[in-house]
Amino acid sequence: MDHFCIARQAICDETLQLVGYELLYRANSEDISAIISNPHEATARVTSLALLDFGLDHVASKQPIYINMSSEWFKHPELLPSAKIRQRIVLQVPTDIVVDETLCSNLQRIRAKGFLIALDDYKLNDPRTSLLTVVDIVIVETLNQSLSTIRKVKTSLLQYPVKTLAEKIENWTNFEQLKQMGFDYYQGFFLARPENLAPQASGANQLILAKLMTLLFDESSSVEQIEHYISQEPALYYRLMKYVNSAMYNLPNSIDSMHQAVVYMGMETLRTVICILMWARNSNNVYTVLPLLLTRAKACELLARHHGMKPVDRSFTLGFLSLLDVALGQPLPKLLSNLPLSPDMSEALLHSKGSLAELLNCVRHWERAEWEALEAHPLYCAELPILMSKALDWANQTEDNMTEH
């Protein structure tokens, strides 16, 4: 079967609020090379997959999605239907496009259909400068340009009514430097890497939450112990009760006691839900990391089940904990030292060794759209696109039921 590989990468604003996703894709998961030989066909396929097979809300429930388009699409705007939801889809203009009056006219026609237009990989003295009056967003690559050059590019764009996006940001230091330049949006693998923050003061609530987390990862903990610590955090208690009574569970009768909630959900689910709710109260970038975290954890679980790796719930925990440092802004060794993890789990998370590390790395290859490395991975399978789609579905539903509206 011809499976289509598609991944998404988060885009945030300066406060780390999630504002969109870029779709990363390849035409055929069975091809060894990650090079797309027919970009026009590939664009058609990813657009079809994202908007028809998956559905726009599957790819991103509320945020715009960015799609790399081939030059051919901009030559024939009549091929694009009118957008059902205006300004939810951003079409990226490639660097190799031929700029002329016809292109300017076509871009205006495409915008009139409800799409947003972005110039991809914009650089100093870019030959597409004449298009700046007919586009909405300019994407500036930061990986292969000096800060002084990037600053010149950003300054040159001030006279145009466009939003600016800094892409391919590799670390938090770069993010802070670029933020000083005043970009509107930011994208890169820095979001999946830990931020070096000054140690935070530990208040009484944080001590309670730390103890609760320890209990959740201790198999000898009793329901009564967990219930006791939850009851000391009224906001956490409220949000947990709201979650267990949400449409996700569709219970015939409402649950009105924390004891019932703990028993009904089970330790693994309770551990996951409470940790996420805790992060949402204590981390400045949790809502940007949360979709990636949930998808990664569920993907690890589904892939482990597919390969018969047991116990499956440990695989979910593996993916979940792998982003603990990013979500809480503290070193992973320090955070894991407070949890009673097995040696192989610790080896996987801290040293990337063992079978659990292989599982985690397979999912990471997908997230980063490292298709060639993915297909060479021992755990790669033809069903992986389907498993990732299921993980994304679950993550979207779980996030909707956890976050307050």
Q: How do residues 243-291 score in pLDDT, each as one tens digit?
A: 777 766 677 777 877 888 888 877 767 776 776 666 655 555 566 777 8
Among residues 167, 192, 217, the one where a domain terminates is 192
Pair (127, 249) in one structural domain: no
Residue 311 belongs to domain spanning? 204-402
Contacts of 151 (CB under 8 A, 6+ apart): 181
405 pLDDT more than 50 = no
In the numeric block, the tokens 């979207």 are attached to 396
Q: How many CB atoms neighbour CB 58 within 10 A? A: 15
With H, G, I as helix, E, B as strand and everything else as coil, classify residue 227. helix
* Residue 199 within any structural domain of the chain: no
Pair (149, 240) in one structural domain: no
CATH assignment at residue 234 = 1.10.3210.10
Question: Could you read off the pLDDT of 104-127 as tens digits, one per residue?
Answer: 999 999 999 889 999 999 999 999
Cβ burial 301-335 (10 Å sphere, 16+ → b, else e): bbbbeebebeebbbbbbbbbbbbbbbbbbbebeeb
Helix boundaries (H) for 182-222: 204-216
Residues 191, 192, 196, CA angle at the centre, nearest 5°?
A: 75
Pair (37, 109) in one structural domain: yes
Pair (222, 366) in one structural domain: yes
Mean pLDDT of all residues in 315-332: 80
**Smallest Cα–Cα separation from 340: which of 228, 215, 245, 250?**
215
Number of domains the chain is built from: 2
Mean pLDDT of all residues in 138-152: 94
Q: What confidence category does residue 53 fall into, taking pLDDT thresholds of 50, 70 and 90? A: very low
- The residue ranking higher by pLDDT, 382 or 398, is 382
Would you call the peptide bond into 311 cis, given omega within 30 degrees of 0 as the criterion? yes
Q: What confidence category does residue 321 fall into, taking pLDDT thresholds of 50, 70 and 90? A: confident
Task: Using CB atoms within 10 Å of the CB of residue 125, give its burial: 0 to 12 exposed, 13 to 18 middle, 19+ buried.
Answer: exposed
Pair (246, 218) in one structural domain: yes
Mean pLDDT of all residues in 35-64: 57
Q: With beta carbons less than 8 A apart as the criterion, state whether 292 and 277 touch.
A: no
Pair (132, 225) in one structural domain: no
Pair (330, 209) in one structural domain: yes
Pair (172, 272) in one structural domain: no
Pair (149, 58) in one structural domain: yes
Mean pLDDT of all residues in 40-63: 57
pLDDT for 377: 96
Q: What confidence category does residue 198 fall into, taking pLDDT thresholds of 50, 70 and 90? A: very low
* Residue 197 within any structural domain of the chain: no
CATH assignment at residue 132 = 3.20.20.450
* Residue 111 within any structural domain of the chain: yes
Alpha-carbon distance 217 to 336, whole Å? Answer: 11
Q: With beta carbons less than 8 A apart as the criterion, state whether 283 and 304 touch.
A: no
Name the phi and psi angles at 148, rounded to 5.
-65, -40
Among residues 192, 213, 247, the one where a domain terminates is 192
pLDDT for 357: 96
* Residue 198 within any structural domain of the chain: no
Q: Which of 47-51, 119-123, 237-241 has the highest mean pLDDT?
A: 119-123
Among residues 161, 192, 223, the one where a domain terminates is 192
Pair (170, 279) in one structural domain: no
* Residue 245 within any structural domain of the chain: yes
* Residue 30 within any structural domain of the chain: yes
* Residue 99 within any structural domain of the chain: yes
Pair (331, 231) in one structural domain: yes
Structure tokens at 44: 């058609």
Helix boundaries (H) for 79-139: 101-112
Q: What is the pTM of this model?
A: 0.71
Alpha-carbon distance 394 to 378, whole Å? Answer: 25
pLDDT for 279: 60
* Residue 114 within any structural domain of the chain: yes
Q: What confidence category does residue 202 fall into, taking pLDDT thresholds of 50, 70 and 90? A: very low
Contacts of 56 (CB under 8 A, 6+ apart): 50, 65, 84, 85, 88, 89
Pair (111, 174) in one structural domain: yes
Q: Which of 9-13, 16-20, 225-229, 349-353 has the lowest average pLDDT?
A: 225-229
221 pLDDT more than 70 = yes
Mean pLDDT of the chain: 80
Alpha-carbon distance 305 to 384, whole Å? Answer: 12
